[in-house]
C-alpha cells in the first residue's frame, strides 16, 4: 500500500512540476524571442544563470532551504512538508531546458509571413503570440511534455533520496529507496521494488514520448491518422 501511495506522490509531483515548467518556459521563451532586444537580453541572462547550475545541486540547495521554512509569498504559502514544494523546485530548475528551444523557435516564427500579416491587420502582441505563434509551437511543446515528466520524476526521486525532496511522513519512491538502504541486506526488497517501479514508470513515459515525437515528426514514416 505504501508503494502505491509513494508512486502516486511521485507521479503527482512529476506532472505538477512539468506543468509549471511548460507554462513558465513558454511564457519566458515566447516573450524573449518575440520582443528581442533588451527584453531578450535580460531574460536570456536569467535563463543562463539557472542553466549554469546542475539541476541536482540547485534542487538540493533549494529543497534544503525550503524544507526548513516552506514558501511564503503572502497570499501563496506552503509548509515545508507540502508535496508542492518539490514540485515548484523541480518545475523551476527545468525552465531553461524548455525556454531556450522555445525562444529559438519564436525568433524564427516572428519573421514569418503570417506574423507580418497579423501585424498589418492591427492585431496586438498578446493576440499574435496567442493565435499565431503558440499554435506553431504546439508540436514542440507536446514532445517536451513526456520528456519533462520523466526527468521530473527522476529528479524528485534523487532529491527525496538525499532528503531534499518529499519530507516525512509523506512517502515517495525516492524516500522508500532511502529507507530501504538502511535495511540492506536483510530486506533488499524494500529497495529493489520501489527502484523497479521508478525504472518502469520512467521507461514507460519515455517510450510514450518517443511515440509522440515520431507521430508529430513530418519526416517520420509513422503519421497520425495512418
Within 13 Å, how many C-alpha atoms sit on residue 109's CB side? 25
pLDDT on residue 74: 65
Q: Find, among 149, 142, 143, 139, the residue nearest to 203 by Cα.
A: 149
pTM of this prediction?
0.87
**Spatial separation of the C-alpha atoms in residues 170 and 157, rounded to whole Å:** 13
pLDDT on residue 95: 94
Residue at 172 is within a domain: yes
Among 98-107, 176-185, 215-224, the range of highest mean pLDDT: 98-107
Phi-psi region of 53 (alpha: psi -120 to 50; beta: other; left: phi over 0): beta
Residue-wise pLDDT for 14-68, tens only, equals 999 999 999 999 999 999 999 988 999 999 999 999 999 999 999 998 888 887 6
Residue at 91 is within a domain: yes
Residue at 222 is within a domain: no
CATH code for the domain of 212: 1.10.3720.10
pLDDT on residue 226: 41
Residue at 55 is within a domain: yes
Can you state the angle between helices 2-35 and 84-93, rounded to 10 degrees? 40
Within 13 Å, how many C-alpha atoms sit on residue 3's CB side? 12
- CB under 8 Å to 101, separation ≥6 — which residues? 29, 140, 144
Residue at 171 is within a domain: yes
Residue at 167 is within a domain: yes
Q: Could you list the residue range(s) of the whole structural domain that residue 87 is in?
A: 2-216
What are the angstrom distances between the C-alpha of 125 and each of 106, 107, 108? 13, 14, 16
What are the angstrom distances between the C-alpha of 61 and each of 71, 90, 164, 165, 179? 14, 12, 8, 11, 22
Number of structural domains the chain divides into: 1
Residue at 224 is within a domain: no
Q: What is 111-127 written as a DSSP string? A: TSHHHHHHHHTT--HHH
pLDDT at 225 over 50: no
Residue-wise pLDDT for 82-139, tens only, equals 888 889 999 999 999 999 999 999 999 888 888 889 888 888 888 888 888 888 888 8
Q: By percentage, how much of the chain surpasses pLDDT 90?
A: 38
Amino acid at each position: 500500500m505504501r508503494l502505491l501511495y509513494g508512486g502516486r506522490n511521485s507521479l503527482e509531483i512529476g506532472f505538477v512540476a512539468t506543468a509549471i515548467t511548460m507554462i513558465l518556459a513558454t511564457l519566458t521563451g515566447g516573450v524573449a524571442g518575440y520582443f528581442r532586444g533588451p527584453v531578450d537580453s535580460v531574460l536570456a541572462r536569467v535563463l543562463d544563470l539557472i542553466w549554469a547550475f546542475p539541476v541536482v545541486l540547485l534542487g538540493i540547495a533549494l529543497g534544503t532551504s525550503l524544507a526548513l521554512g516552506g514558501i511564503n509569498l503572502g497570499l501563496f504559502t506552503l509548509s515545508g512538508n507540502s508535496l508542492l514544494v518539490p514540485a515548484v523546485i523541480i518545475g523551476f530548475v527545468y525552465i531553461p531546458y524548455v525556454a531556450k528551444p522555445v525562444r529559438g523557435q519564436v525568433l524564427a516564427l516572428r519573421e514569418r509571413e503570417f506574423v507580418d500579416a497579423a501585424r498589418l491587420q492591427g492585431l496586438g502582441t498578446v493576440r499574435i503570440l496567442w493565435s499565431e505563434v503558440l499554435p506553431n509551437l504546439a508540436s514542440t511543446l507536446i514532445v517536451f511534455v513526456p520528456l519533462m515528466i520523466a526527468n521530473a520524476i527522476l529528479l524528485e526521486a534523487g532529491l527525496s533520496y538525499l532528503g531534499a525532496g518529499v519530507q516525512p511522513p509523506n512517502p515517495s519512491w525516492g524516500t522508500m529507496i532511502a529507507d530501504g538502504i538502511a535495511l540492506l541486506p536483510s530486506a533488499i526488497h524494500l529497495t529493489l521494488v520501489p527502484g523497479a517501479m521508478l525504472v518502469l514508470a520512467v521507461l514507460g513515459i519515455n517510450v510514450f514520448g518517443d511515440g509522440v515525437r515520431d507521430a508529430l515528426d513530418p519526416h517520420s514514416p509513422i503519421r497520425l491518422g495512418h
